[in-house]
Amino acid sequence: MALKATIFKVDLQVADLDRGHFADYALTIARHPSETDERMMVRLLAFALYASEDLSFGKGISTDDEAALWEIDPSGVIRLWVELGLPDETRLRKASHKADRAALITYGGRGVDVWWRTNAEALKRFENLEVWQITPEDGAALAGLAERKMKFSCTLQEGTVYFEGLELHPIRLQ
């Protein structure tokens, strides 16, 4: 018998001072049985970083044809494709070709450094791809916030993310 996703409800208030985007979101996150609290919370952080009217969670971890998050405009054009973790170069190539912009948010500690050394050169050719790293400490702190019902405020200003009492500093790799 297949395990079912665990449902999380999130009220998220975003104040992105850099982009001038201010909005409240009532989100439902389906956490895949193989997904950790850290990955789920990094997914939520990614939503806050790229928040927009058309941004939504994709099936991501359970489907190769969908992103972890994506912004699809009303005409069906994929404006943004967001991946998480340490995907292979072919997945990022696909994201870069299908969307106007692509982003990757890496997390997980030392493995990120090894992955980046292996893939950095190949990824430079994707001009519309940006790559971010969440430190192991920030990832663990985010995971510690996971609950079935959550209410968060998130402020983004000059590269710093203030996420419900945490001060996070994502590192831009590309």
Task: Say whether pTM exceeds 0.85.
Answer: yes
Question: Does residue 82 fall inside a structural domain?
Answer: yes
Residue type, 122: A
Is the pLDDT assigned to residue 3 strictly greater than 80?
Answer: no
pLDDT tens digits, one per residue of 124-137: 999 999 999 999 99
- Domain count for the chain: 1
Q: 39-43, 58-62, 140-144: lowest mean pLDDT where?
A: 58-62
Q: Are 103 and 96 in contact (CB under 8 A)?
A: no
Question: Does residue 15 fall inside a structural domain?
Answer: yes
Question: Does residue 78 fall inside a structural domain?
Answer: yes
Question: Does residue 42 fall inside a structural domain?
Answer: yes
Using alpha carbons, select from 67, 74, 54 the residue that is nearest to residue 129: 67
pLDDT tens digits, one per residue of 22-53: 999 999 999 988 899 999 999 999 999 999 99
What percent of the chain shows pLDDT beyond 90?
A: 88
Question: Does residue 72 fall inside a structural domain?
Answer: yes
> What is the rounded CA–CA span in Å between residue 10 and residue 147?
9
Number of other residues whose CB lies within 10 A of the CB of residue 157 = 11
Q: Are 122 and 143 in contact (CB under 8 A)?
A: no
Sorted by sequence, the CB contacts under 8 Å of residue 145 that are 6+ apart come out as 41, 152, 164, 166
Question: Does residue 67 fall inside a structural domain?
Answer: yes
Q: In whole angstroms, how large is the CA radius of gyration of the chain?
A: 15
3-state secondary structure of 156: strand
Question: Does residue 126 fall inside a structural domain?
Answer: yes
Q: Are 123 and 131 in contact (CB under 8 A)?
A: yes
3-state secondary structure of 170: coil
Question: Which residue segment(s) compose the domain that 54 sits in?
Answer: 6-172
What CATH number did the domain enclosing 122 receive?
3.10.640.10
3-state secondary structure of 91: helix
Q: What is the DSSP string of 46-90?
A: HHHHH--TTEEE--GGG-TTS-SEEEE-TTS-EEEEEEES---HH
Question: Does residue 1 fall inside a structural domain?
Answer: no
